[in-house]
Amino acid sequence: MSTLPPPPPDLAARPRAWKRLRAGSVLWRIHFTAGEHPMAWDGMRYFGRTTSRFDPQAQPCETAGPDPRGVAYLATDLPTALAEVFQRTRVVDTRRGEPYLTALATAHDLDLLDLAGTASLRLGAAGTIAGDRDFRATQAWARAIVTTWPETPGLWCASAMSQQPCVTLYDPGVAPIFPTRPALSLPLSHPGLLPWLVPASEEIGFTLL
Q: Give the C-alpha separation, 132 to 123, whole Å.
A: 16
Q: Average pLDDT in the 116-134 region? A: 76
Write out the DSSP string of 58-108: SS-GGG----S-EEEEEESSHHHHHHHHTTTTTEE-SSTT-EEEEEEE-SS
Residue type, 127: G
pTM greater than the 0.95 cutoff: no
Mean pLDDT of 102-119: 89
Beta bridge partners of 26: 105
- Residue 94 has φ and ψ, to the nearest 5°, of -85, 0
State the pLDDT at residue 99: 96
The pLDDT of residue 184 is 95
188: left (phi over 0), alpha (psi -120 to 50) or beta: alpha
Dist CA 101 CA 29 (whole Å):
6
User: By CB neighbour count within 10 A (0-12 exposed, 13-18 middle, 19+ buried), where does 82 fall?
Assistant: buried
Residue 69 has pLDDT above 60, yes or no: yes
User: Per-residue pLDDT for 44 more than 60?
Assistant: yes
| Average pLDDT of the residues in 158-173 | 84
Residue pair 37/55 in contact (Cβ under 8 Å)? The answer is no
The band of 2, judged by pLDDT with boundaries at 50, 70 and 90, is: low
Residue 192 Cα distances to 91, 123, 166, 185, 195, angstroms: 19, 44, 25, 12, 7
- What is the overall mean pLDDT for the chain? 86
Residue 15 C-alpha from the chain's centroid: 23
E-state strands within the chain:
18-21, 26-32, 70-75, 91-92, 99-105, 110-114, 154-158, 165-171, 184-187, 207-208
